[in-house]
Every structure is written in C-alpha cells, then in structure tokens.
Amino acid sequence: MIMNKVVVIYSGGMDSYTVLHNALRKDYEVYALSFDYGQRHRKELDFAKSVSEQLGISHKVVDITSITPLLQGSSLTSNIDIPEGEYSVDNMKSTVVPNRNMILLSLATGYAISLQAGAVFYGAHHDDSAVYPDCRPEFVKAVSEVTRIADWQPVEIVAPYINASKSDILKDGLTMGLDYRQTWTCYNGRKKACGLCGACHSRLKAFEALNLIDPQEYETL
C-alpha cells in the first residue's frame, strides 16, 4: 500500500473541487474519479475533465448508467421536477439518489485497491448532512470501518470537510487561490446555472456569507 497515493471522487462541483485541491496541497499523488450515473446535471463531468487536464492529473470518468434504472425516485435521475428554493430537508429530499455514495465509494475503493492507494476522499460536508444520510459523520465512520476490512488491503474513507459548512469550504478554497468558475453546482444541466434550485441556492448563500459575488453565470441573476 502506498500511503501518499489517494483516489478523489471528483464530481466537478465546488465541494469536490476543493477536496481535490486539498489533497494536492497535502502532496498526495491524486487519482481523480468521476461517475456518470445518469444524473441530469452530468454537465459537471465536463468541468471535472477540464480541471483535471489543466492540473495534469489522472482522471477517469466511469459510465455506470446501466444501473440508473435501479436508482429511480430521485429528481436527479428520474422525471421529477428539481426542487427550487431553500436547501432544507423537506425541500431537497427528492434529490436523494438511492444509496449513491455507498455505491460510488465502493467502486472508488476497488480502484484504490488496484492502485495500492491508502484512501478515498469525497466531499461530504455538514450542510449536506441534514438532507443526505450518506454525508453524515456516522456514515463516513461506518463505511471507512468496512473498507478497512473488505480486502487484504485496508482503505480509509476520508471526508476532510465533514464538519465544515459550504461557506467554510469556499473560504478554504479561496485561501488556496481556487477559481470557482471552474465548477458546476446547478442540478439543471443547462447552458447557465438556473439560480433557483436548492443546489444553486446553497452555493449562492456560501458566497453571500463571505460577502462575495459568485463568478458563476446564472439565468436569473
């Protein structure tokens, strides 16, 4: 096992973008991994590809759309309207993709084992924990315990911002000089971000909390 080698689940959104650079700043040898699981905002994958190319790091996009029929009932994978407004449990519950992070972390762990990497990083954070059960500290702890014993090679699951807010993540990224124009957050995959969905709302609130203007282009702003 090579402890300085890690896999980063990189969606192309602002949280995973910050996690990616967090790992790079710690001098890890980073292998970025993105998934196309049939999400309607797969435009985020274009941003992940572009950033990875700029950084000159290994990046794989894995097509797992064959399992999309198993992940129905979410507004991200089914013909259900994307909720607009506040990033709250009642409003955002329809965006939960069944067992998504367990599936993605399992695949990323397999990749880590094949690389002899010591850890898998992903962008779970405190603001997501109310809406998404697979972004809670107890989930990270439990799944990491499993990945340490699931194979001859132990792999740790790391969520560096698990106790941080989205504005905390943004603040950390800005101290690293990151350009958030290179990220895609909107749950609608149109030419510009909608500015109305819960994901856009959360992102805009993070910038507002730091008295900053989001450089993302919006349809409504």
pTM above 0.85, yes or no: yes
Per-residue pLDDT, 142: 97
Give me the residue label for tokens 């001859």: 152
Q: Which of 94, 82, 100, 104 shows the shortest CA–CA distance to 185?
A: 82
Query: Residue 3 pLDDT more than 70?
Result: no
Per-residue pLDDT, 29: 97
Per-residue pLDDT, 131: 85
Per-residue pLDDT, 77: 84
Per-residue pLDDT, 18: 98
Tens digits of residue pLDDT in 154-200:
999 999 999 999 999 999 999 999 999 999 999 998 999 999 998 99
Per-residue pLDDT, 2: 54
Question: DSSP letters of 99-158?
Answer: THHHHHHHHHHHHHHHHTEEEEE----HHHHTT-GGGSHHHHHHHHHHHHHSSSS--EEE
The CA-atom distances, in angstroms, between 109 and each of 146, 149, 198, 216 are 11, 12, 30, 32
**For the residues 98-114, what does the mean pLDDT come to?**
96
Beta strands 156-158 and 29-36, pairing class: unpaired
- Do residues 181 and 203 make contact, with C-beta atoms less than 8 angstroms apart? no
Residue partners of 37: CB distance under 8 A and separation at least 6: 64, 65, 67, 68, 71, 77, 97, 100, 103, 104
Tens digits of residue pLDDT in 23-37:
999 999 999 999 999
What percent of the chain clears pLDDT 70, i.e. is strictly above it?
96
Query: Residue 87 pLDDT more than 70?
Result: no
Query: Residue 123 pLDDT more than 70?
Result: yes
Helices (H), the chain: 14-25, 44-55, 89-92, 100-115, 126-129, 137-149, 166-175, 198-209
Q: Which domains does the chain have, with CATH numbers?
A: 2-209 (3.40.50.620)
The CA-atom distances, in angstroms, between 39 and each of 7, 111, 131, 165 are 21, 22, 18, 24
**For the residues 48-63, what does the mean pLDDT come to?**
98
In the structure, what pLDDT confidence band is assigned to residue 22 with cuts at 50, 70 and 90?
A: very high
* Mean pLDDT for all residues in the chain: 93
Query: Residue 109 pLDDT more than 90?
Result: yes
Per-residue pLDDT, 91: 61
In the structure, what pLDDT confidence band is assigned to residue 89 with cuts at 50, 70 and 90?
A: low
In the structure, what pLDDT confidence band is assigned to residue 90 with cuts at 50, 70 and 90?
A: low
**For the residues 43-69, what does the mean pLDDT come to?**
96
